[in-house]
Structure 1
Amino acid sequence: MDFQLTDDQKALQGGIREMLARRFGREALRAAVERPGRLDRALWRELGELGFFALRLPESRGGVGLGLPEAVLAFEEAGRALLPGPLVATHLAAGRIEGAAEGEKAVAMADGALAAWLEAADEVLGDTAGAVPIQSVDPLTPLHRLPGGHGLPGGHGRAAPDPALAPDPVAVLLTAAEQLGSAARTTETSVQYAKERHQFGQPIGGFQAVKHLCAQMLVRTELARAAVYAAAVTEDFAEIAGAKLLADEAAVCNARDCLQVHGGMGFTWEADVHLHLKRAWVRGLMGLSAAEAQEIQAQALAARAWAGDGDSAGEALASAL
Structure 2
Amino acid sequence: MRFALSPEQRDFADSLRKMSEAAGTPGVIRAWAEGEHDGGRALIRQLAEAGAVGLAIDEAHDGMGAETIDSVVAFTEFGRAAVPGPLVETAAAIPALLQALPDSASAERWLGAFAEGRTLGTLALSPETPALDADTAEVILLVDGDRLYTARHTAAVRSVDRARRLFPVAAEDLLAEGDSVRAAAAAAFDAGALATAAVLLGAGRAMLDTSVAYVRQRHQFGKPIGQYQAIKHHLANALIGLEMAQPLLFNAALTPTPRDISAAKIACAEAAYRTARIALQVHGAIGYTAECDLSLWITKVNALQSAWGTTDFHRSRVAAALRDPEAA
Length-normalised TM-score, structure 1: 0.83
Residue 224 of structure 1 contacts residue 247 of structure 1 at CA under 8 Å; is this kept in 2? yes
Q: Which residue of 2 aligns with 1:116?
A: 132
Q: After superposition, where does 1:116-135 map in structure 2 within 5 Å? A: 116-127=132-143, 133-135=156-158
Bigger shift: residues 105-114 or 69-78: 105-114
Q: Which residue of 2 aligns with 1:186?
A: 207
Verify: 1:105 aligned to 2:93, yes or no.
no
Q: Which residue of 2 aligns with 1:245?
A: 266
Q: Which residue of 2 aligns with 1:38?
A: 37
Q: Which residue of 1 aligns with 2:194?
A: 173
Amino acid at match of 1:104: R
Instruction: Return the alpha-carbon distance in structure 2 between the equivalents of residues 267 and 23 of structure 1.
Output: 25
Amino acid at match of 1:49: E
Instruction: Return the alpha-carbon distance in structure 2 between the equivalents of residues 165 and 105 of structure 1.
Output: 21
Residue 80 of structure 1 contacts residue 185 of structure 1 at CA under 8 Å; is this kept in 2? yes
Bigger shift: residues 73-82 or 37-46: 37-46
Provide the secondary structure at the position in 2 that maps to 1:109: strand
Match of 2:303 among 275, 282, 298: 282
Q: Which residue of 1 aligns with 2:284?
A: 263
Amino acid at match of 1:38: H
Verify: 1:143 aligned to 2:166, yes or no.
yes
Q: CA deviation at 1:165?
A: 5.8
Match of 1:292 among 290, 305, 313: 313
Q: CA deviation at 1:63?
A: 2.2
Instruction: Return the alpha-carbon distance in structure 1 between the equivalents of residues 239 and 169 of structure 2.
Output: 36
CA 132–32 in structure 1, closer or farther in 2 if over 3 Å, else same:
closer
Instruction: Return the alpha-carbon distance in structure 2 between the equivalents of residues 11 and 282 of structure 1.
Output: 30
Q: CA deviation at 1:170?
A: 1.3
Instruction: Return the alpha-carbon distance in structure 2 between the equivalents of residues 187 and 242 of structure 1.
Output: 22
Instruction: Return the alpha-carbon distance in structure 2 between the equivalents of residues 234 and 143 of structure 1.
Output: 31
Q: CA deviation at 1:199?
A: 0.6
* 1:172-229 alpha-carbon deviations (Å, 9 max, x no partner): 1001000000011111111111111111111111112211110111011111111111
Query: Identity of paired residues, percent?
Result: 33
Q: Which residue of 2 aligns with 1:74?
A: 74
Instruction: Return the alpha-carbon distance in structure 2 between the equivalents of residues 186 and 224 of structure 1.
Output: 15
Instruction: Return the alpha-carbon distance in structure 2 between the equivalents of residues 132 and 294 of structure 1.
Output: 33
Q: Which residue of 1 aligns with 2:223?
A: 202
Q: How many residues in Structure 1 have an aligned counterpart in Structure 2? A: 291
Instruction: Return the alpha-carbon distance in structure 2 between the equivalents of residues 46 and 130 of structure 1.
Output: 27
Length-normalised TM-score, structure 2: 0.81
Amino acid at match of 1:20: S
Q: CA deviation at 1:4?
A: 1.5
Instruction: Return the alpha-carbon distance in structure 2 between the equivalents of residues 173 and 37 of structure 1.
Output: 28
Instruction: Return the alpha-carbon distance in structure 1 between the equivalents of residues 184 and 305 of structure 2.
Output: 21
Bigger shift: residues 79-88 or 20-29: 20-29
Residue 37 of structure 1 contacts residue 117 of structure 1 at CA under 8 Å; is this kept in 2? no
Q: Which residue of 1 aligns with 2:252?
A: 231
* 1:38-95 alpha-carbon deviations (Å, 9 max, x no partner): 3533223222222122113344543223211010010100101110000011113457
Unpaired runs of 5+ residues, structure 1, are: 148-161, 308-321
Instruction: Return the alpha-carbon distance in structure 2 between the equivalents of residues 164 and 54 of structure 1.
Output: 19
